[in-house]
Chain A
Amino acid sequence: MKKQNKKICTIIALIILFILVYFAQNRLDAYKIRILNLGAIYVTLGVSLNLIYGFTGQFSLGHAGFMAIGAYVTALLVLPPYYKEASFILEPLIWPFTVIHAPFIVALLLSGLITALAGFLIGLPVLRLKGDYLGIATLGFAEIIRIIANNLPHITNGALGIKGIPEFTNLWWTVGVAVVTIYIIKGLINSSYGRALMSIRENEIAAEAVGINLTYHKVMSFTISAFFAGVGGGLFACLLTTIDPKAFMFVMTFNILAVVVLGGLGSITGTVIAAFLYNFFLEYLRPIEAGFNLGPIHFPPIPGLRMVSFSVLLLVLILYKQRGLMGGVEFTWEGFFRFISRIFSNKKTTEGSAS
């Protein structure tokens, strides 16, 4: 297929997405919008984790920490100063956080940049480690970040967290950021630099032997990944309107990791699909726990049942789809049209044989 045609297809798809978002934002109820928002934020987070883990092959378990940085930075920037003064009850907020105030977009960008800086500083020493050791070290950093947040009441309000964050996040933002994230990370992957990252994943020794600077490329990938994790954290803060250190425990990293693995490592398409499915299931299992009536039988509310069913679902999925939904395969327009034409030709043959 010609490049020009592909571009046209992509533009048409974006317009359709635009219309869908418009209707979703205006017609759906708040609950459904929230689930979609979460799904879209997970796309941003998942795609960024996929960059460092799926494409670069560096096992990182630090995403919750990066999200935390982004979330706190955004919260402190978008909260109006008078409100901050009122809500920091443990200890008064210190200057300059008392006076700074920025529009949402600036806050998101700054969140990304500051998180990227943290990613750079962490990545530089730890990316020398390999495999599980790298995972453990990044997990350690994420926990340290969380514990620091817990212990700096004059900046983060400690364990109480920050409440009343303006609810700026809507589908325009979450989907918009997801699209930009995909565009940038896909652009990186489909470039000589992306090839270098994948070569590192495939064979470090060979990559180094053809002149790829391992540290430079790994840290670059890690930093970019941290940037988007920070932006995702910022969106997250303005969706939940309340953040506290507990929100950024290892479970958070696990959720994103599960999305990436279930979607298929190294497949952005897979991450997108898995991000939405994950959140749909997580939410739609809620009634199980709340108690329900099945005909005449009444099921009482049982706390914990939702996560029990969810973990069973997760186990079944990973046991039967060991390489994830997409198994590393990516969406392409060629593949899409081949798929469509196959459906049509199938239909024709079945119709033909029926008559």
Chain B
Amino acid sequence: MTINLLLQNIANGLSLGSLYSLIAIGYTMVYGILRLINFAHGEIFMLAPYFLYFGVLIFHLPWWASAIVAIGLTAFTGMLSERIAYKPLRDAPRISALISAIGVSFFLQNLSIVVFSGIPKSVHRPAFFTKIFQFGEIRIQSTLFASIGVSIIFLSLLIYIIYQTKTGLAMRAISRDIETSRLMGVGVNRAISVTFIIGSALAAVGGILWSLRFPQIVPTMGIIPGLKAFIAAVVGGIGSIPGAMLGGFILGMSEILFVTFFPAMSGYRDAFVFFILIIILLLKPDGILGTKVQEKV
């Protein structure tokens, strides 16, 4: 393999990884606070490109305005799903909340089939994003820079919110111990809502960037990226935001490199991802950056 091809694939891996990172953060934040695998997160991711699509098509908004509206609407949907389907189950057995999350996932997916129809739609892409840059023999689509750049901006914003604002403090407190936080007067409901808003907004950004790379959108498009981002969160150490970012990049990169080095095995691409997951879990059950919580006896 030529060094150029390798560089090309590393670039692709980074770009895919940045998308996984954005989605993985939503999983990890919700898990950190509620100990809930939010299976509906992949559907939240899927909604954003649809909102974008209709914003441009029906309301004739410019692409950027439509994208902002889409992020807002998606974030709102995420928050709403928590209020309706998870909040009443906060004291129920955890499995009930998980079933509820999968129920929400089915609901959003099928509602999208009903409302948007199951026929694939093609999202409008501004000319800027389809431009190809040529570096020697390496061709890089501008979405790559966009996804990496946008990811960095939003991730910095996130870190600011979590470590520098009062709401962020509340979120961190709750993830330590929800009961004590409640007793200490932390606004638990508000902080959880904010968590869902931020997580869903990041997934929306991921969804929109995804639609720049793969402009065909269908209501089931959230399943696989959702699952992979979730794996990324686990690999990085679920509950840890830097872990989710790292996990996203590891996953995106290893997926692309696997196909590069073993083109004959490309059918096993997703199996390889699961394989990595299982190996990491067996070697380091709490993920790469996760903290080990040992039960005191």
Contacts and interface: CB of A to CB of B under 8 A. Distances in A.
Establish whether A and B are touching in the complex (CB under 8 Å).
yes
Contacts of B277: 136-137, 140
A258 B99 contact: yes
A150 B255 CA distance: 18
A307 to B, nearest CB: 4
A129 interface: yes
Interface in A261-313: 261-262, 265, 302-308, 310-312
Contact of B96 (A140, A141, A318): A318
A323 B285 contact: no
A124 to B, nearest CB: 11
A150 B266 CA distance: 12
Interface in B249-297: 267-268, 270-271, 274-275, 277-278, 281-282, 285, 295, 297
Given A302-B114, A314-B99, A307 B274 contact: no
Interface in A247-267: 250, 254, 257-258, 261-262, 265
A162 to B, nearest CB: 18
B114 A305 contact: yes
Given A150-B267, A308-B107, A126 B85 contact: no
Given A305-B114, A315-B85, A133 B104 contact: no
Contacts of A151: 267-268, 271
Contacts of A305: 110, 114
A85 interface: no
A144 B110 contact: no
B95 interface: yes
B136 interface: no
B285 A308 contact: no
A319 B282 contact: no
Interface range on chain B (Cβ under 8 Å from partner): 35 or more
Contacts of A322: 89, 92-93, 96
B93 A311 contact: no
Contacts of B219: 304
Contacts of B268: 147-148, 151
Interface string B25-52: 0000000000101000000000000000
B100 interface: yes
Given A147-B268, A311-B106, A314-B103, A141 B85 contact: no
Nearest to B295: A205
Interface range on chain A (Cβ under 8 Å from partner): 35 or more
A138 B275 CA distance: 11
A265 B95 contact: yes
Contacts of B92: 322-323
A347 interface: no
A128 B282 contact: yes
B6 interface: no
Contact of A304 (B89, B118, B285): B118
A291 to B, nearest CB: 13
B88 interface: yes
B7 interface: no
Contacts of B35: 132
A144 B117 CA distance: 30
Nearest to A206: B297
A35 B230 CA distance: 34
Given A144-B271, A318-B100, A311 B107 contact: yes
A125 interface: yes
Contact of B234 (A133, A257, A307, A314): A133
Nearest to A254: B102
A122 B20 CA distance: 28
Contact of B103 (A59, A143, A150, A318): A318
A135 B31 CA distance: 14
A261 B99 contact: yes
A323 B93 contact: yes
Interface string A322-353: 11000000000000000000000000000000
14 contacts: A133-B281, A137-B277, A140-B274, A141-B274, A151-B271, A205-B295, A205-B297, A258-B99, A261-B96, A304-B114, A307-B109, A318-B100, A322-B89, A322-B93
Interface of A: 59, 125-126, 128-130, 132-133, 135-137, 140-141, 143-144, 147-148, 150-151, 205, 250, 254, 257-258, 261-262, 265, 302-308, 310-312, 314-315, 318-319, 322-323
Closest 8 pairs (CB-CB, A-B): A304-B113, A322-B92, A140-B274, A307-B110, A311-B106, A311-B107, A147-B271, A151-B267
Interface of B: 35, 37, 85, 88-89, 92-93, 95-96, 99-100, 102-104, 106-107, 109-114, 117-118, 219, 227, 230-231, 234, 238, 267-268, 270-271, 274-275, 277-278, 281-282, 285, 295, 297
